[in-house]
Structure 1
Amino acid sequence: MERDAEATKRRLIAAGRTEFAAHGLNGARVDRIAIAAQSNKAQIYHYFGNKAGLFDAVWNELVEQIVVGVPLDADDLPGFAAGLSDLYAEYPDMPRIITWQRLERGDALNELGVAEVRIRTAAIAGAQARGLVSTRFEPQVLFPLLVHLAMLWAAANPEVLAVVDLADRTQRREMVRRIAATLVE
């Protein structure tokens, strides 16, 4: 019985992730999520309390996926930015959900996310103290610059992308790496 409950939760989170990426929290519909998860609306409310609770579960999973999938090596910050850019390219729903979270749930902090930002900015400060990273930017500024640089292609509007004409994922990754290198040198 427990396995079925876990499988149902996993399906609801996966369906919620797709729905929230497309429509945000406010535009998402529990009917569509339940159908996509081969479940019912009652299960959403049972496991997550409400639609916002499901969004939070999706957000928590996404934050964990980023933290685990792209560890920060303070000695290779351009590699970190490029790796994060790769993750966003591999999972295009991520930048969309990040944007929706910022717009609709910006005041809801994820504890793991906050802890990781502290750890990662401290690692950058350590690399700066060792002379490996420029002190031009404070760690609390440099880290978000790298994070947002990694989302450059996902956040750019179509007109910019048409003019820049870097459709190749490898070229985009390398551009992120090169720009990040200028920030840390």
Structure 2
Amino acid sequence: MVYDSSATRARLLDAAYDEFVSHGLAGARVDRIAKAAPANKQAIYAYFGSKDELFDAVLGARLRVLADMVPFTPSDLGAYAGALFDAFVDDPGLIRLTQWKALERPEASAGELEAHLEKAREVAEARGATLEAAMDALMIALSAAQAWLFTPPAIRNPGGADEQTRRLRHREAVVAAVGAMTDRLLPPGERSGSAGEA
């Protein structure tokens, strides 16, 4: 039988995702990850180096999948927020993973910082705005896309409507609110400074 190391690595990433979503970085156990994979525990260290590096690999892999699923539309942050909302609702584990990261390792990595700056630069260029204003708009769009999952069901659906109907209405509100906010913060054609300015 031919040993497929790429398959083992993929199984470890999937098992680690479930473990980190459930327990965070501090509470996750490599023994459980290896058992769920299934794989030898030493494979984790061989492929990833440490539990911290495995967490980074899992988060990076999931964010790449998200980026592939949700194309960034710098000229239409409302549409981007709506697409993000759909992706987060379909895979709420990603939000939990990023919450664990924020709680346990709140500092931004160089990769995270550059990814956000790149998006903000694209928004600034598309809307003729400052980098600072573009980053504000981007942060608000990201927050709006996640709000549904941060809110208890009884609060987000106070009238007891059909859950699917209520979710679609909330999505419409996210798109409309982010679109209106973008127009307020980043008026089309009004350049308040250089797009590279912070």
Q: Structure 1 length normalisation: TM-score?
A: 0.86
1:67, 1:116 within 8 Å by CA — same for their partners in 2?
no
Report the Cα offset of residue 181 of structure 1: 1.7
Three-state SS of the structure 2 residue aligned to 1:75 is: coil
1:21-170 superposed matches below 5 A: 21-107=21-107, 109=109, 111=111, 113-129=112-128, 138-163=133-158, 167-168=163-164, 169-170=167-168
Measure how far apart 1:69 and its partner are.
2.1
**Take 1:163 and 1:31, find their aligned partners in 2: how far apart are those partners?**
42
Name the aligned partner's letter for residue 174 of structure 1.
E
Higher mean Cα deviation, 164-173 or 42-51? 164-173
SS at match of 1:163: coil
5+ residue gaps in structure 2? 184-198
**Percent identity of the aligned residues?**
33
Greater than 4 Å deviation, 4+ residue runs: none
Change (3 A) 1:57 1:110: farther
**Structure 1 residue 35: deviation in Å?**
1.2
Could you report, residue by residue, the CA deviation over 1:152-181 in whole angstroms, capped at 9, with x for unpaired residues? 111123452353757323223212112212
Structure 1 stretch displaced more, 29-38 or 61-70? 61-70
Deviation, 1:3, is 6.3
Q: Report the Cα offset of residue 34 of structure 1.
A: 0.9
Aligned to 2:178: 180
Q: Which has the larger radius of gyration?
A: 2
Deviates more, 1:30-39 or 1:67-76: 67-76
Distance in 2 (alpha carbons) for counterparts of 1:82 and 1:122: 21
1:2, distance to aligned residue in structure 2 (A): 8.6
Distance in 1, matches of 2:78 and 2:152, equals 24
CA distance in 2, matches of 1:82, 1:118: 21
